[in-house]
Amino acid sequence: MKNMMREWKAFLQERTTLPVALAAISSTKKGQPILTKSKSLDADSTSMDSLNPEFAKKVLKVQAALRSLGYRTKLVTAYRTPASQLKKYKQGKSKVKFGKHNAVRKDGNKIVPASLAADLIWNNAKKGAYKNTPENIKYYKVLGEVAKKEGLRWGGDFAKSTPALAKFGIGWDPTHIEARVSLKKIASDYKDLVARATLMNQLKPDTQDKA
């Protein structure tokens, strides 16, 4: 068994250029669960379950506060796959190629979605959730105020690059809220966890050291 594992290591050292992959092999201890990617990583989600748990608690508080002010809201974007994020960027619908919607986390031996961003629209918007009506402009600003009280960042504070919104003093992404976490760290964690899970999935269970 150990000889087979050594052969795999030799093969990987010859074939891979991912340092993190080699680190994953060397740090895998006897009996340690193999990391695997959840199928949910391969599809966009509007589910609260695809948010980072601590961030989700804050989103729920934001929604509750908005309800008390007469705004019933709907979560329309939670986790987003990197491919989907890149598509949004190319379409001009996002300013980043990789963002907080793409965050993941380790849950036991699974890598699962853990978005640190959410898009909340006002359900009762009479002329459409994205129309810049006076009612929606008011909603955007209230969302921003409530989100910031929870320590979150509001997309209405982003660059004022959309003239129709800028004239109201609002940035280009007013339905968006996100955690105040370094995007660089999110990207690093994603690459580390997903690269490790992808590589370890290439090792069949009967080639692993048993406890």
Q: What is the pLDDT of residues 132-189, one digit of tens each?
A: 889 999 999 999 999 999 999 999 999 999 999 999 999 999 999 999 998 888 888 8
Distance CA 166, CA 172 (A): 8
pLDDT score at 178 = 97
pLDDT score at 40 = 85
Mean predicted lDDT score pLDDT of the chain: 80
Contact 112, 105 (CB under 8 A): yes
pTM (whole model) above 0.85: no
Instruction: Report percent pLDDT > 70 for the chain.
Output: 73
pLDDT score at 24 = 39
Check residue 51 and report its DSSP letter: B
The residue that leads in pLDDT, 112 or 21, is: 112
H or E segment at 147? Answer: helix 134-149
pLDDT score at 189 = 85
Q: Where do the DSSP E strands lie in the chain? A: 36-37, 73-77, 104-107, 110-113, 117-122, 153-154, 176-178
pLDDT tens per residue, range 51-96 = 999 999 999 999 999 999 999 999 999 999 999 999 999 998 888 8
pLDDT score at 14 = 40
- Whether pLDDT at 128 is above 50: yes
Q: Is 168 helix (H, G, I), strand (E, B) or coil?
A: coil
pLDDT score at 199 = 56
| Per-residue CA distances from 211 to 29, 74, 123, 124 (Å) | 9, 47, 53, 57
The residue that leads in pLDDT, 5 or 163, is: 163
